[in-house]
Amino acid sequence: MNELYAICKRNVWPVFRDMPILPLLIVSFIVAIVYVPLFFTLDNLRNYLLQSSDLLIISCGLTFVVLNGGIDFSVTSILTLGSVVGAYIMALSPLAPVPAYSIPVAIVVMMGIGLLVGVVNGLSVTKLKMPSFVATLATQLIILGLAVQFTSMVSDTSSIAGLPEAFFVLGGEGRFFFVPILIAFSVWLVSYWLLGRTIFGKRVYAIGVNPRVSFISGLPVKRTIVLLMVISGLFAGVASIIATARNQVGMSSLGDKMFLTTIASVIVGGTSTSGGLGGVHKTLLGVLFITLLNNAMNLLGVGWYTMMIVLGVLIILSAVSSYLLNSRAGWTWKRKVADV
């Protein structure tokens, strides 16, 4: 018994300590299997993973920025602008009759929009010395305005329908359900590799803890921040492709209500909003947990307002947990510096 306790203390407890959301996710999953009717079915598990896919991509991008102690409000409006511009190219532009051309062009443009906004955000923060929340709030408003204006110029309604069937494969249509899941997992793997296995990743953590010390130490702080913003924007562009394909229309309201869920996934996962602590491994758990809550509550017919209350309570508890973790940040930081 003592031996088992020692093994748990040595192997399991450090994992739970690093990712407090993990035991919560496991318990919730078991409770859902036991109590939620038809939760543990192939159909629903497929839905569960599909519904996690675009959220995971956009949350991975946001994690880079949050790790740096910043925030990117523009991600959900990138989702919206990408959606309507991409849908326009595929449904209404001169390229529309030839899906073999219109789909790749739309995909490139949707990702390009994210990339461009990321560059603008990055330069606003580094060159204009704007706090990230101000810079990205401004771009969020501009992009959202552009998206609504653009939609009203090309369509009588606030959505653009008539997208080519082949594009829906990217949203997991029919037997291609694994496509968005694979894309999301690939994005997560790349993010994990970038943060955990590259010098760039170590710089992100270092700058997140103390940008001034990092600068004095000779780290390319500005370049790293621009890159973070570009990654965040680019991933939002990729999420835009998946979300548009899943809904089969371009919508000027696509990202309207998504920011809360996205930031909740990052924070509930365990990435600290003060920067330097966390990672996409935690964000993955946060995304799986939030999607699990949504999914299970839908199956139970629990109201959206209840879901909002639960989400709010979880964010507060996560923040408390993060504070308690930060009280031992000296230990954690020593470990991270040793890794660098």
Partner 1 sequence: MKKRLIVNALLMLLAAVFLSACGRQKDTKGEKTITLGLSYDSLESAWLVMNHSAVIKEGKKRGAEVISVMAEGDAAKQNVQIENLLARRVDAILCFPKDSSAIVKSIKNCRAAGVPIVMINRSVSGSVLPDAQVIANNKAMGQKVLQTFADRARLEGKTYNVVLLIGNLSDENAALRKAGHRKAIADNPDVLKLMAEVPTEWNLDTALKGLQNALQANPDANLIVTPSDYLWPPIRSVLEQRGRWAKIGAANHFPVVSFDGDEVGMQYLKDGYNWGDAAQDAVEEAQLAVEWALKLIEGKTPPQNTIYDDGQIVTIDNFKEVAPKVWSYSLLK
Which residues sit at the interface with partner 1, rule CB under 8 A? Answer: 16-17, 20-21, 23-24, 27-28, 31-32, 34-38, 41, 43-44, 47, 50-51, 152, 156-161, 174, 243, 246-249, 251, 253-254, 256-258, 294-305, 310, 313-314, 317, 320-321, 324-325
Helices (H), 156-258: 178-197, 199-209, 211-216, 221-247
Return d(Cα 116, Cα 143) in angstroms, integer.
Answer: 11
Q: Which is nearer to partner 1, 1 or 38 (CB)?
A: 38
In the complex, what is the shortest distance from the CB of residue 29 to partner 1, in angstroms, rounded to a whole number? 9
Nearest partner of 113 among 265, 259, 233, 248, judged by Cα: 233
- Give least dist CB 14 to partner 1, A: 12
Minimum CB distance to partner 1 smaller for 123 or for 315: 315
Residues belonging to the chain: 340
- Report how far apart, in Å, the C-alpha atoms of 126 and of each of 160, 175, 188 are: 36, 45, 26
Strand partners, 159: 251
SS3 of residue 250 by DSSP: strand
- Which of residues 17 and 223 has its CB atom nearest to partner 1 in the complex? 17
Q: How far is the CB of 339 from partner 1 (least distance, A)?
A: 22
Closest separation between CB of residue 20 and partner 1, Å? 5
Residue whose CB is less far from partner 1, 44 or 63: 44
Q: Which is nearer to partner 1, 38 or 338 (CB)?
A: 38
CA–CA distance, 206 with 275 (Å, rounded to integer)? 9
Q: Smallest distance, Å, CB 7 to partner 1?
A: 19
* Pick 8 or 216: Cβ nearer partner 1: 8
Q: Report CA 152 to chain centroid distance, whole Å.
A: 28
| Least separation in angstroms between CB 310 and partner 1 | 6
Helix axes 259-269, 75-91, angle to 10 degrees: 130
